[in-house]
Structure 1
């Protein structure tokens, strides 16, 4: 049976109700709005999973940075609440939790783990508040997924990436990742006031979005500085088509545009404005590859790993070491070339 969904906004928060009929959905919407206005949303096992989840975030996620909390809520809604959000807490069974998690099968291990942790958070906090007698998420099992592999750009990808960034001014956002090691979320926050000088060297203050260690100052290469030096202090360097700060949706659109332009540059055919398979650009290319490339470039230029840790904004040097000790195909070929020269000398 398909349900009818109605939405409304109350004090800046979006609420969803579902009903078997239009009349039932409208009645639930009216009752929900009335309860919110009168402050009657009681903390009890009769609460829906959604109602408790948002309250739990407000109570237990106080130490999270705003951007981290927004990401958590977005994932919580999409992966969990859209599935079982309308169910009362007290009737959710282990089977329900497992089926929600099973929906992530075949996706990245990172996404599966984040969904797993989100489910556990919702029901663990409900249990410790005595809203439910038994935590239905205790024995859920993670389905199989693939491991995210962060990698550097290949020489071919690097060539075409730098080529297409000259064709679209908004691609400067990706250059912040490539030349300064910004995380995607950090690049979206960069403003003109973050650009300054130390002894005539242009530097960028990256306002870290992940940990305290993420807040850092990195040098800006001249090729990038020329593109961003005239950004007004209160303007964002990376913007949407209207010159405004990139939202998640406008950022996703810009990523798709980058993929498209790189594929075309690499020789992909186009028919009626649509790309024709096969696509030359590797499927595992993502903007995060640009940040990974920045780190491997630091390694190749002999930058001390402790300095690289700071420039990358890593809280744990092991994260930097994982990149510094990674052996790519180009490294293997360079060693082979050196060995061949030695053998022939």
Structure 2
């Protein structure tokens, strides 16, 4: 390397600058944060001095200029971020799987120092056009944003390129509408008298009477149910995920700390549990299966294993399909429009349970506790909707009573 303070064109070189025999230029400096001696290269002097300006600005702003840091990709940054998080095993598995499937090969290989807001916006726009819901994009953003925020805190980048509103992206989730009282009654009556689905009658009453989440329902064991004191204890849930040992059932803590609760039984729920126990005895279900130390599961498949989370929804979908087919046939013979049931999922059942309790004017804080809602605003959304519908019905009734002159 030439030691002259001038290049081959006779231009004076500054301190740290050199002209190399291969025709390139270099600049050596010390990163004051790491103490390392570093070198950058350029094909000509103007390019080198642009790099020097950026280095000077980085050093002034305490931004790390280490070459290894500059090569850090979003994927590697996410790995570093995840190593700082204390998460439930199931939550960590969910984060890693989503990153692997949705982010890793899309923008994960971009160097952190090169990521622009436009990169992330384009990525979210692509997800949105592919039909992903806003909630899914928000979940992904909740991984990308804090990882990049950590890079800001570590002086790798000046500002977070994911710091913008994501409200414009993603398909809005369909509004979850509870079953009406009449729809609920029709569905239960149909299941009760149907030879194919009547074994699920107690389970549906328990779902509607307790408002438990799907994972909490399938994780219930007979030790969790005290028919004598009429109480259901919720302190775990059953999940079916790959936590590094292949897809299988695992016991997990409830979704939130608020999910740990004791739900009082109504008399109908008490009877439903008693009926379920008789059914299990008749069908010889739930004798020997043990998962993470838990056994005596209440709701079992024909295989003898606990019901899968997806199985609950499939049962509900099949019930509604069977009901609607029968209703269409009856409506044709009676020359009227069929009154069909809407699509019902485990979450709709939970939302319906919450709505029925709100309609009974249960204290909102009590309802929040029973439902295991972490935030009161979730409970209040149901309460406000019920109150609004009640006011509308009241006003319509008042109008009907007004004499028309």
Q: Shorter-normalised TM-score: what interval?
A: 0.5 to 0.7
Query: Could you report, residue by residue, the CA deviation over 1:195-237 in whole angstroms, capped at 9, with x for unpaired residues?
Result: 124xx23321112623222211112313431244466661333
Q: Following TM superposition, by how much is the alpha carbon of 1:78 offset from its aligned partner in structure 2, in angstroms?
A: 3.7
Task: Name the residue aligned to 2:28.
Answer: none
The 3-state SS of whatever aligns with 2:106 is helix
Corresponding residue to 2:119 among 90, 96, 104: 96
Tell me whether 1:255 sits opposite 2:351 in the alignment. Answer: no
Matches within 5 A, 1:1-345: 46-60=71-85, 62=86, 64-81=87-104, 83-105=106-128, 107-130=132-155, 135-139=160-164, 141-144=166-169, 145-155=171-181, 157-159=183-185, 161-162=187-188, 163-164=190-191, 167=197, 169=199, 176-197=206-227, 200-207=228-235, 209-220=254-265, 221-229=269-277, 234-240=295-301, 242-245=303-306, 250-267=308-325, 280-282=340-342, 285-327=344-386, 331=390, 334-335=393-394, 338-339=397-398, 343=402
Q: Distance in 2 between matches of 1:206 and 1:143?
A: 38
Q: Which runs of 5+ in 2 are unaligned?
A: 1-67, 236-252, 281-285, 288-293, 329-337
| Larger Rg, first or second structure (1 or 2) | 2
The 3-state SS of whatever aligns with 1:217 is strand
Q: Distance in 2 between matches of 1:108 and 1:134?
A: 27
Residue 174 to residue 128, structure 1, CA distance change in 2 (3 Å) = farther
Q: Distance in 1 between matches of 2:178 and 2:217?
A: 18
Task: Name the residue aligned to 2:335.
Answer: none
The 3-state SS of whatever aligns with 1:266 is helix
> Bigger shift: 165-174 or 317-326?
165-174
> Bigger shift: 116-125 or 84-93?
84-93
The 3-state SS of whatever aligns with 1:237 is coil
Q: Distance in 2 between matches of 1:143 and 1:240?
A: 42
Query: Could you report, residue by residue, the CA deviation over 1:89-111 in whole angstroms, capped at 9, with x for unpaired residues?
Result: 45544333212211342544333
The 3-state SS of whatever aligns with 1:204 is strand
Q: Distance in 1 between matches of 2:95 and 2:126?
A: 18
Q: Following TM superposition, by how much is the alpha carbon of 1:46 offset from its aligned partner in structure 2, in angstroms?
A: 3.9
Query: Could you report, residue by residue, the CA deviation over 1:276-324 in whole angstroms, capped at 9, with x for unpaired residues?
Result: xx995546x4322211211221123342222212211223333322212
TM-score, normalisation: structure 1:
0.66
Q: Distance in 2 between matches of 1:279 and 1:77?
A: 44
The 3-state SS of whatever aligns with 1:83 is coil
Query: Could you report, residue by residue, the CA deviation over 1:139-189 in whole angstroms, capped at 9, with x for unpaired residues?
Result: 464434425523311345424543348717578766553221112333243
2:203 touches 2:272 (CA, 8 Å); kept in 1? no
> Bigger shift: 90-99 or 307-316?
90-99
Query: Could you report, residue by residue, the CA deviation over 1:105-126 in whole angstroms, capped at 9, with x for unpaired residues?
Result: 2544333322322221232224
Q: Which runs of 5+ in 1 are unaligned?
A: 1-42, 271-277
Residue 114 to residue 263, structure 1, CA distance change in 2 (3 Å) = same
1:203 touches 1:218 (CA, 8 Å); kept in 2? yes
Q: Following TM superposition, by how much is the alpha carbon of 1:265 offset from its aligned partner in structure 2, in angstroms?
A: 1.2
Query: Could you report, residue by residue, the CA deviation over 1:6-44 in whole angstroms, capped at 9, with x for unpaired residues?
Result: xxxxxxxxxxxxxxxxxxxxxxxxxxxxxxxxxxxxx95
Q: Distance in 1 between matches of 2:327 and 2:106?
A: 39
Equivalenced residues, count:
287
Q: Distance in 1 between matches of 2:232 and 2:224?
A: 6
Task: Name the residue aligned to 1:40.
Answer: none
Task: Name the residue aligned to 1:20.
Answer: none
Q: Distance in 1 between matches of 2:214 and 2:318?
A: 19
Q: Distance in 1 between matches of 2:377 and 2:166?
A: 28
Task: Name the residue aligned to 2:244.
Answer: none
